[in-house]
Structure 1
Amino acid sequence: MDIVGNRTLTDLLDEKVKMYGEKTFLIFEDKEAKRYELTYKKFQEQTNRLGRALLTNGITKGQHVTLHLPNSIDFMIAWFALARIGAVMVPTNILSTSDEMKYILEHSESVLLITELEYLEKFQAVKQHLPHLNDIWLARYEGSEHKERSLSFLMAHENTSFPASLIEADDIAAMLYTSGTTSKPKGVQVTHANYLFAGEVMSKSIRLSPEDRQIIVLPLFHGNAQYYSTMSALTAGASIAMTEKFSASRYFKQAKRLGATVGSLFAAPMRMILAQAYDREDRNNEMRVIWFAQSLTDDQLSTFEQRFNVPLLQLYGMTETIGVPLMNPIDGIRRNRSMGKPTIGYEVKIIDKNGHEAPLGEAGQIIVKGVPGRTVMKGYFKNNEATAETLKNGWLYTGDNARVDEAGYFYFVDRIKDMIKRSGENVAASEVESVLNRHPSVYESAVIGVSDDIRDEAIIAFIICHQEAAVTEKELISYCKERMANFKVPNRILFLKEFPRTSVGKIQKHLLKQSYEKNHLAY
């Protein structure tokens, strides 16, 4: 037996209710700054009510239910209500288009969609093309037209008791879709055991205690907010402060107001916070650590820690790895330009193209040792080929390149598919971006490769400048030539006001590439 055993999400919640029933579990602040609060016991009662409503309306174990919701109490209740009856949650991005949602609803074979009135229109045109979808329910609905399909109405007719259900730790609890680049998104199957393992790894890695309070500003449909924040809080019997959306100008003010002690961010939101007018009062917070993913410069790291008086820990994880296989040590030396070292429960190594472990300092693919359905994902839904390519002989192949230094710290190099082949040489996009980001006029950069008949690929850099900064393409190319081999220097530099991003701030390079190729920009 491992640390999870045969426990489920329901078992974990019920255990914490016995221990901390009257303690605050969840504080939620909506976009109008209205505040709502639930104790552990009240949260359990609400999940029981919705669970019974789901059963009453024919939702059974193993069926998929799509959540198309912003951060909200209803999202959290729906997640745990579905887990309680053994159904599978399919959380989606509220920014997804009608066509994107049609694919996910069709591919997942979802029988029920839970959304809000604001997003209902995008589903009307595609509903007739979704034979599996039987019904649409509305969260946070106060009108009369759809009253009988509202969660509040459906839950009001149910009691708070719940019959014992035959759910196992290895049953699928959720399916999270990874963002597609050249192909359609893949459905990552996450078990009850996966969630509990993620909570154990994260809570132990940051020394989370029942006195801590997580602040969640990243979207709940994403693995980060589910695995690292929600599950670690539940595992430790801590509490959660959640906002409907992220605000760079109000992040630390909300953290102070909501009593947060730990938080999770990405590099892009952190740069947005740094770009705000500095309020010295933001230093007077109770945050003892913020973990983050994706690279920041040395100056950004030191400025953030100094301004806001909070230590940072860079980590590395994917939807497929479930927990965080790499993280800077909370009790050791933090090297936050790195992704840290392997965490409890994981073995990580770097391999070359031949599958052999790469020497120290040499770049290769990150692979993570794990048990499918326990410590790493169970597999991709209806995609055996992609599952076989990712899970091999007890290892998960991440598709990310990194290197390891002599002290055992892992440094991200690039996505394997983000490598640019130029005149027979491999160029890491992140290396070019790192040079560009050091220029005083550059706020952020994104580098892509585009097809070139002579050089294999040409290097195109997109730049967002600091406000009031002025720099030309010629100046930046000269800057790069002084700092990089000529084959790494961009052919073109284009200036943008903003980048297309995912909901957690990742730059969508495939959209930059599509836009570039569509407009036939000459270099």
Structure 2
Amino acid sequence: MKVLDHFSVEKYPKISDVVDYWAVEKAEKVCIQEVDGKECTYAQLKKEVDSLAAGLHALGISKGSPVLTMMENGLACVEAWLAINKLGGIDVPVHTAYKGYFIKHIINTCEAKYMFVNDRHLETVIESLDKNSHLKVIVVGNAVVEKNRIPANLEIFYFNDIKIPNSTVPAATCSPDDIGNVLFTSGTKSGTQGLILTYRQLRNTNINGINRMELTENDVSYVCFPMSHGNGKFSSVGTFLLLGATSVILEKFSARRWIYDVHKYQITYTSLMGPMAEFVYKQPPTEFDHNNNLRVILNIPRNSEFTPKFEKRFGVTCIEVYGQAGVSAPITSPIGKHQNYASCGTLVEESYDARLVDSETGRDVEIGATGELWVRPKHEGLISPGYFNDEESYQLAWSGEWFMTGDLMRVDEKGYFYYMGRSGDFIRRRGENVSVKEVEMIIKSIGHVQDVAVIGVSTEFITGEDDVMVVIEGEGLDISTLIERCEKELPAFSIPRYWLIAKLPRLPDQTVDKQLLRNRGVTPDTFELKKTRG
């Protein structure tokens, strides 16, 4: 059977519809294997999803209900996603590092009434909850919360207790352009916003990945990136569920155990984002480096010097793509073709048009010159229709029929695109997007802080990622107090590594001259936070 021909998004819009099919056709095949944990066949997965969906339906979840999922990688996370999906609800992944403002912002933006959360994060959710919101929380794990710790506007349920065994509910009837997921991501213009992902866009993402990597039902995926990200949940687990293949899920990435898991579980495909490949390469050589089934790795970004050495050591092909959650992957480097390791690939011409535009003139730049990437889809379902409950902010990213990505690129005469950075305020740190606007907002709210500038400074990694530096202007400021406040409010990846209290340089219009601060970088009087906590 040709999977991509069979599972049209019109006939099987939801990924849970596909799982129901495989539960009959491949009942005994393992679809989810937790590293050092449970394994689950397609038939077992359907049974657990049905019982959980029945329980969620009894709680009031139905088509269109936003449900937040603040969960660690694992089988429970997959079950929750598919149960929400079966009911036609909207799965809203929440990064497990989020705290305070960020959790409150997502709850309020989605007007959410339901949330899954691992027990280790429950206290964080309780502390973050707005007094005006009412939330039903399904706790994954065995930790019991004392009644006097539960606020009046919070109802606690437990994952295994709400399941109704041997029960089913009718799957919701959905169209391809209904909302399947909302993915909160950091941008340059409007902070953290919830991108709408329709069933059609999610399916296109799956199909593009299958074609790009030449994946089949016999491949085995190693999921070591958080499932709160599109890469971990949709591009990895979702794609392999569509194929009727197997996903091996690790709760948290470990460079030390990576090659051992690859060998043990006979992994053929995985993804390594940011400096993860460097962490793996720095581990001592093992007998499994070349004795494994690895075939292809989605590696973003690659490097002309490093990537060939990585491929040789592990006997694998590394593929790069350029993409955003809102635009899928308009630029790719398909497997089997000449690999230009300095480039993120060539345009997927059957699906997108592209321009590189001078932001000041609005005109296309010449070949070899740097400009902002604008893309135009050639058919529906390739680009997100907007931000959830915020139509106005999303329109700022469009110029007519062209989507302005905010990414700077250049293209050579052969059509290879080269990523040159971001326009505006944007920091990417260890595979995570840092919302500069919101980090500045939180620090600025601290007493005696007059103004603040958050910038990215170079790291030791060859992947071109940044570390976070903050320059604060104010009187009577204590860095340890500032750090303590940030640790309460910010996810660990957003807490600045470098701190400086100084007068901020200004441009003639009195805005902060961030370029001058970037040029200065880390100075001798800058305080370095050796390790972030939280």
TM-score, normalization by structure 2: 0.77
Give the direction of change, closer, same or farther, for the CA distance of 1:334–1:499 in structure 2 (3 Å limit): farther
Distance 1:446 1:337, change over 3 A: farther
Find 1:96's aligned residue among 95, 98, 101.
98
Match among 16, 35, 43 for residue 22 of structure 2: 16
Deviation for aligned residue 1:233: 1.2
Show the counterpart of 1:86.
88
Equivalent residue for 1:50, pick from 49, 52, 60: 52
Greater mean deviation of Cα atoms: 362-371 or 46-55:
362-371
Question: In 2 relative to 1, CA 498–214 (structure 1 residues): closer, same or farther, beyond 3 Å?
Answer: farther
Q: Secondary structure at the match of 2:55?
A: helix
Give the equivalent residue in structure 1 for 2:9. 4
CA gap of 1:348–1:16, structure 2 versus 1, over 3 A, is farther
User: Residue 150 of structure 1: CA displacement?
Assistant: 1.3
In the alignment, which residue of structure 1 is the partner of 2:335?
330
Q: Secondary structure at the match of 1:125?
A: helix
Correspondence for 1:221: 228
Aligned pairs (5 A) from 1:485-500: 492=523
**Equivalent residue runs for 1:427-438 within 5 Å:** none
Q: In structure 2, what is the equivalent of residue 141 of structure 1?
A: 142
Deviation larger for 451-460 or 258-267: 451-460
Looking at structure 2, the residues matched to 302 and 360 of structure 1 have their Cα atoms a distance apart, in angstroms, of 27
Indicate the SS of the match to 1:402.
strand
Following superposition, the deviation at residue 161 of structure 1 comes to 3.1
Letter paired with 2:85: A
Report which stretch shifted further, 366-375 or 306-315: 366-375
Residue 208 of structure 1: SS of its match in structure 2? coil
User: What is the rounded CA distance, in whole Å, between the counterparts of 1:324 and 1:314 in structure 2?
Assistant: 10
Q: Which amino acid aligns with 2:175?
A: E
Match of 2:129 among 124, 127, 130: 127
Worse overlay, 196-205 or 387-396: 387-396
User: Quick check: 2:70–2:93 contact (8 Å CA) kept in 1?
Assistant: yes
Match of 1:313 among 308, 319, 327: 319
Determine the structure 2 residue equivalent to 1:452: 505
Aligned-partner Cα distance in 2 for 1:41–1:144 = 34
Letter in 1 for 2:355: K
- Distance of 2:424 and 2:11 partners within structure 1: 38
Look up the SS of the partner of 2:186 in the other structure. coil
The answer as to 2:400 corresponding to 1:403 is no
Q: 1:278/1:459 Cα in 2 relative to 1: closer, same or farther (>3 Å)?
A: farther
| Bigger mean CA deviation after superposition, 311-320 or 447-456 | 447-456
**In structure 1, C-alpha distance between the alignment counterparts of 2:74 and 2:86, rounded to whole Å:** 19
Verify the 8 A CA contact 1:315 1:326 in the aligned structure 2.
yes
Check 1:206–1:130 CA distance in 2 against 1; reply closer, same or farther (3 A cut): farther
Post-superposition shift, 1:50? 1.2
> Percent of aligned pairs with the same residue?
25
Q: Does the CA-based 8 Å contact 1:171-1:192 persist in structure 2?
A: yes
Q: Supply the distance in 1 between the matched residues of 2:374 and 2:404 (Cα, whole angstroms).
A: 5
Could you say if the C-alpha distance between residues 242 and 437 of structure 1 is closer, same or farther in structure 2, counting changes exceeding 3 Å?
closer
The CA distance in 1 between the partners of 2:205 and 2:399, in whole Å, is: 21
Aligned residues: 455
| 2:424 matches 1:417 | yes
Determine the C-alpha separation between the residues in 2 that align with 1:101 and 1:125. Answer: 10
Map 1:285-434 → 2, pairs under 5 A: 285-294=292-301, 296-321=302-327, 323-343=328-348, 345-353=351-359, 354-370=361-377, 374-418=381-425
**Aligned CA distance change for structure 1 residues 392 and 278 (closer, same or farther; 3 Å):** same
How has the CA–CA distance of structure 1 residues 315 and 159 changed in structure 2, closer, same or farther, with 3 Å as cutoff? same
Q: Distance in 2 between matches of 1:457 and 1:127?
A: 34
Are the aligned partners of 2:370 and 2:409 in contact in 1 as well (CA < 8 Å)? yes
Change (3 A) 1:198 1:182: closer
User: Residues 132-158 of structure 1, C-alpha deviation per residue, up to 9 Å, x if partnerless?
Assistant: x33111113376979982111111x24
- Alpha-carbon distance change, 142 to 119 in structure 1, aligned in 2, over 3 angstroms: closer
Q: 1:457 to 1:180 in 2, by over 3 A?
A: closer
**Alignment partner, residue 180 of structure 2:** 173
Q: How far 1:500 sits from its partner (Å)?
A: 7.0
Asked if 2 retains the 8 angstrom alpha-carbon contact of 1:116 and 1:141, the reply is no
- CA distance in structure 2 between the partners assigned to 1:345 and 1:368 by the alignment: 10
2:296 aligned partner, one-letter code = V
RMSD: 3.4
2:160 aligned with 1:152, yes or no? yes
Shift of 1:317: 1.0
Structure 2's unaligned 5+ residue stretches are 148-154, 428-454, 472-503
* Aligned residues of 1:191 and 1:373 also touching (Cα < 8 A): no
CA deviation map 1:368-426 (0-9, x unaligned):
22379711112101222221122444332211010111111110011011599xxxxxx
Alignment partner, residue 436 of structure 2: none
